[in-house]
């Protein structure tokens, strides 16, 4: 099965991934997939009659992939990206037009001619290091696209390694293209439907979930008490930590699905467990009240002459107010239930906050 896979499948799979990444403006992925597509075409023997084309993939692609993995995500026409595109163009030109004596010199020097390794082993090592850079960025900053790029580069590293034969190299490069397509689609889905700060589904996901609701259900609106005052006192970075902490508690709410509604507000939908929505919300309220959030305050200066002082790290406590409403004969549509839950939330805040009101 591996041997029967047409060689042209690998560059085509990566070309599809490249076009998809371009459509979704995943610019680092575009640069990396451009190099992988060219390398896959060269290793597959396209275009025909190109002297030294397979050597070109081992010589140039690892360095270009390493550079593409190292640069940050920027606009496609940013200066660093243009430099990488120019370097890729030079590599393509050398592959087609380099004189024999220049080609032999390049062959001896690239990718790591000073080391006593073969070209395939050196190329695989560089691509593995590039994959490590993406994995490191994934650990430090998160983002599913980085994990996808790391997997794509590992597939490419195997394809150029000495152990890969023609059939397995084609399969590995095809897998790289498929993984790239899935990574772009998943990252774009998360951007569209997942709130990046809290990790919860966002307002768009909530609207779609409300549109699909039927039967009996309950909606809870949740608001962090005195959040604006907290931001003014401790700074927005501390406020972001509080939002993440509250989202963590709401994510585990029993029988409900939490969404980031906007600002300091959240929404929780209860389906089959709607009868126990108030009980689950009260348990979540108590967990938030008892939790402590470690922050480092950066007060906002009221005057320009005042210096911003960074305080020592401290633990703070926050509370939430909740309004709960169920679908009934009066509130039939999701919008009506959401509105009544929002009114119950305002009553909870008006009655002293840190409480729950059931409509």
- Known catalytic residues? 264
- Spatial separation of the C-alpha atoms in residues 57 and 42, rounded to whole Å: 6
Those residues whose C-beta lies under 8 Å from the C-beta of residue 41, and which sit 6 or more positions away, are 11, 47
- Of 31, 10, 57, give the one whose Cα is nearest residue 169: 10
Long-range pairs for 224-227 at CB < 8 Å and ≥24 separation? Answer: 224/264, 224/265, 224/318, 224/319, 224/320, 225/318, 225/319, 225/320, 225/321, 225/349, 225/353, 225/354, 226/353, 227/263, 227/264, 227/318
SS3 (DSSP) at 26? coil
List, edge to edge, every strand of the sheet that includes 256-262: 256-262, 265-270, 218-224, 320-326, 356-358
| Token pair for 5 | 């896979």
Q: Could you say which DSSP state residue 312 is in?
A: P
- Spatial separation of the C-alpha atoms in residues 320 and 322, rounded to whole Å: 7
- Spatial separation of the C-alpha atoms in residues 7 and 150, rounded to whole Å: 23
- Of 209, 211, 205, 221, give the one whose Cα is nearest residue 268: 221
């Amino acid at each position: 099965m591996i041997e029967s896979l047409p060689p042209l499948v690998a560059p085509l799979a990566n070309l599809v991934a490249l076009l998809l990444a371009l459509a979704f403006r995943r610019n680092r992925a575009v640069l990396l997939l451009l190099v992988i597509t060219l390398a896959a075409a060269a290793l597959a023997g396209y275009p025909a009659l190109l002297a030294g084309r397979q050597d070109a993939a081992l010589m140039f692609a690892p360095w270009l992939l390493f550079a593409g993995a190292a640069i940050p995500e920027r606009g496609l026409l940013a200066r660093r990206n243009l430099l990488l595109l120019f370097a890729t163009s030079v590599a393509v030109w050398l592959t087609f037009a380099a004189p024999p004596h220049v080609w032999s010199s390049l062959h001896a020097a690239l990718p790591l001619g000073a080391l006593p390794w073969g070209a395939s082993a050196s190329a695989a090592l560089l691509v593995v290091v590039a994959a490590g850079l993406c994995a490191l960025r994934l650990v430090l900053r998160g983002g599913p696209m980085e994990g996808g790029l790391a997997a794509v580069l590992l597939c490419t590293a195997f394809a150029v390694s000495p152990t890969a034969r023609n059939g397995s190299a084609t399969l590995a490069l095809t897998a790289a293209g498929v993984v790239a397509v899935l990574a772009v689609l998943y990252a774009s889905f998360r951007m569209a439907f997942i709130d990046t700060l809290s990790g919860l589904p966002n307002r768009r996901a909530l609207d779609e979930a409300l549109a699909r609701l039927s039967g009996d259900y309950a909606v809870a609106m949740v608001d962090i008490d005195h959040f604006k005052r907290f931001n003014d006192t401790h700074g927005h970075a501390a406020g972001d930590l509080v939002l993440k902490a509250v989202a963590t508690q709401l994510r585990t709410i029993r029988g409900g699905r939490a969404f980031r509604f906007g600002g300091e507000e959240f929404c929780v939908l209860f389906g089959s467990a709607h009868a126990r929505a108030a009980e689950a919300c009260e348990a979540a309220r108590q967990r938030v009240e008892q939790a402590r959030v470690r922050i480092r305050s950066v007060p906002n200066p009221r005057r320009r002459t005042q210096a911003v002082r960074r305080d020592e790290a401290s633990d703070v406590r926050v509370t939430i107010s909740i309004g709960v409403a169920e679908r009934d004969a009066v509130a039939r549509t999701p919008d009506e239930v959401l509105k009544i839950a929002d009114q119950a939330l305002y009553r909870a805040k008006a009655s002293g906050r840190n409480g729950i009101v059931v409509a």
